[in-house]
Structure 1
Amino acid sequence: MSVSAHGVEPRLLRAFLAVAEELHFTRAAARLYVAQQALSRDIRRLERELGAELFGRTTRQVTLTAEGARLLPYARRAVEAQDELLAAFARPAADSRPLLVDVNSPGLVHERVLARARELAPEHELMARYESGLTGAAAELLAGRLDVSFGRFAGLDPAVRERLAQQPLRYEPMAIVLPADHPLAGLDAVPLDRLAGETVYAGAGNPRTPEWTDLARRLFAGRGIAVAPPAPLAVGKEEFRRIMTKYRHPVLTGVDFPAMPGSVLRPLVDPVPLSPVSVVWLKGREHPGIEAVRAAAGELARDNGWLVRPDDAWIPATDALVMRGQD
């Protein structure tokens, strides 16, 4: 492996890391918010500059070559160093810039956290953004395009988690959205074993939310519940109603999911599955707004008992450790 005398652009290393971590060019391009053709050009350029083939490519899969694996730790350190440099020199002006907070979806408790943070820091502008998926948000946090998000921290790649900070916010009870005429719709709560034989939508194929699909697979394992195959994301109430009517797949969600036409939401019980939610931000990023969000999250979690787990709760062991700050 030989390097050009001009050095390697950090942008090319970021492209390499995205493909190396996703092992899929389409997902990596979505994560970086670039066209797949542009990403492929960057990877080819990096390979030319280094004089090494970094990925093995077939029609079925992408793999790291030995040279790609050798580059990986160096690329991570180089990108982390650049992020630290940019963060350090951005701090003097950071206090005055607006803080961008991804609250995921309307109606969730994240909006309450943001509202309280605005009360705690009225002199700062805290802007809300509505995009679901912590995996997608994490890429933007690392790139400096987003300041705070919420979600299942344990579901992120360990290499990504190392560069982010988190504060546990809530163990959110999980629920199921059913067609209004579904046989289970008449129950006040749905025992988990009553979903045996069902195919449940849990975001499979959505590159922004693999952490949610992974949580669903862990919950469904050994219970005879299948994860529905990838499908286009339904955006808006009318599109949700149409997709629910057409496919009739129950949808796994949290108890705060907003009401949708033609469907009912029922909490899951026996056991009560929990979706662990954390406040997430970039390590080293300093802004009074971030401190306000963290203070608001701590206050609301304490006052509402959001971090108290029911006796009959279900949660993956890895998530329990992360929520206790042990990973």
Structure 2
Amino acid sequence: METRELRYFVAVAEELHFGRAAQRLGIAQPPLSRAIRQLERRLGVTLLERTSRSVTLTEAGSVLLVEGRAALDAVDAADRRTRRAALASTGRPALVLVTKAGAAGELLPKLLDAYAAEPGAVTVDVLLCGVGEQERLLRDGRADVALLHLPFDSTTGLDTEELRTEGQVVVLPAGHPLARRAHLRMADVAALPGLPMPRWPSSDGTYPDGPGPQVRDHAQLLQLIALGRASAILPESCRVHLRRDLAAVPVLDAPAVTTVIAWPPHSRSLALAGLVRAATRL
């Protein structure tokens, strides 16, 4: 299979419409249809069921959609990492570290300071992202290394080192009656009147159903909590940057959160190795 054919197929499979897929790809519809038929002949399977009114995926087509996306992501990641390696070889080496905005607490500045003191340290560009995005940015090659959080992020296929494990707290408006409690339990948090949990977007940008407000980033979440519109369960390290109008109460039975530093297993970057060493020493 050719990369071009995979891109064509993924576009049709996602749009389920040849006209829209052709427009998305910037090509005419006839050559797109020919390319898909050629791909089906080469594989010896039917990927799409076509009628005059609809296009649907066959079981084989559904499998190729999943595998094709992964293959194209790997190609794009290889492209980005190769270009960055070329920049490094011309005397402009840098690492891109991605982390969820507001999640690293005091760990991130300590890590950057520790690494900067290493012999041969290079520039570290920090990429702050929304919830759940750091794993994708690492896997698709836009970042060299990431701070991920278990059990929420997947580290399958990545090399990792554990940095710390911590409990979780519920963040409430400072004036809330429960803000003075020494600790709470998950059942107490679930029963909070008028302070629903936020709804974060999924990988496709849609929000799950529920009573909580739609939230895009950490700053927006803290503002909503301060206004008495939401509450949130966050790692205990979030206390470092909490505003005065917010309070954090430990949740005894909330799952522990482990912060790991993660990177692609095939990386041969000496700069990355130095950053990981500095992280583990912390």
Q: 1:101 aligns with which of 84, 92, 97?
A: 97
Is the Cα–Cα contact under 8 Å of residues 163 and 280 in structure 2 kept in the other structure? Answer: yes
- Write the deviation string for residues 240-279 of structure 1: whole angstroms up to 9, x where unpaired: 565225453211111121212421112222x353112211
Q: 2:184 aligns with which of 173, 186, 190?
A: 190
Residue 205 of structure 1 aligns with an amino acid whose one-letter code is P
Q: Distance in 1 between matches of 2:133 and 2:76?
A: 21
Q: SS at the partner of 1:277?
A: strand
Q: Which deviates further from its counterpart, 179-188 or 43-52? A: 43-52
Which residue is equivalent to 1:138? Answer: 135
- The structure 1 segments of at least 4 consecutive aligned residues displaced by more than 6 Å after TM superposition are 37-40, 43-47, 52-56
Q: Distance in 2 between matches of 1:148 and 1:232?
A: 26
Change (3 A) 1:186 1:79: closer
Is the Cα–Cα contact under 8 Å of residues 206 and 233 in structure 1 kept in the other structure? Answer: no
Residue 41 of structure 1 aligns with an amino acid whose one-letter code is R
Q: SS at the partner of 1:273?
A: coil
- Write the deviation string for residues 155-211 of structure 1: whole angstroms up to 9, x where unpaired: 456xx833x33222221211110111212101133233422413542543354999x
Q: Distance in 1 between matches of 2:183 and 2:197?
A: 18
Residue pairs, 1:55-94, within 5 angstroms? 65-71=58-64, 72-73=66-67, 76-77=70-71, 80=74, 83=77, 87=81, 91=85, 94=88
Q: Distance in 2 between matches of 1:88 and 1:241?
A: 39
Which residue is equivalent to 1:232? Answer: 215
> RMSD over aligned Cα, in angstroms?
4.4
Q: Distance in 1 between matches of 2:143 and 2:226?
A: 36
Which residue is equivalent to 1:8? Answer: 3
Q: Distance in 1 between matches of 2:276 and 2:63?
A: 38
Give the superposition deviation at 1:117.
1.9
Residue pairs, 1:26-65, within 5 angstroms? 41-42=24-25, 48=33, 49-51=35-37, 65=58
- Write the deviation string for residues 194-242 of structure 1: whole angstroms up to 9, x where unpaired: 22413542543354999xx99xxxxxxxxxxx97535133564xx5565
Is the Cα–Cα contact under 8 Å of residues 47 and 58 in structure 2 kept in the other structure? Answer: yes
Which residue is equivalent to 2:281? Answer: 299
Give the superposition deviation at 1:41.
1.9
Residue pairs, 1:124-273, within 5 angstroms? 124-133=122-131, 135-152=132-149, 155-156=152-153, 161-162=156-157, 164-198=158-192, 200-205=196-201, 207=203, 229-233=212-216, 236=219, 240=221, 242-257=223-238, 258-269=241-252, 271=253, 273=255
Q: SS at the partner of 1:110?
A: helix
TM-score normalised by the chain length of structure 1:
0.60
Change (3 A) 1:110 1:97: same
Q: Distance in 1 between matches of 2:265 and 2:22?
A: 26
Change (3 A) 1:188 1:172: same
TM-score normalised by the chain length of structure 2:
0.68
Is the Cα–Cα contact under 8 Å of residues 185 and 264 in structure 1 kept in the other structure? Answer: yes
- Using the aligned pairs only, state the percent identity: 16
Give the superposition deviation at 1:75.
5.6
- Write the deviation string for residues 256-311 of structure 1: whole angstroms up to 9, x where unpaired: 21212421112222x353112211222312322211221122112xxxxxxxxxxx
Q: 1:284 aligns with which of 260, 266, 269?
A: 266
- Number of residue pairs matched? 253
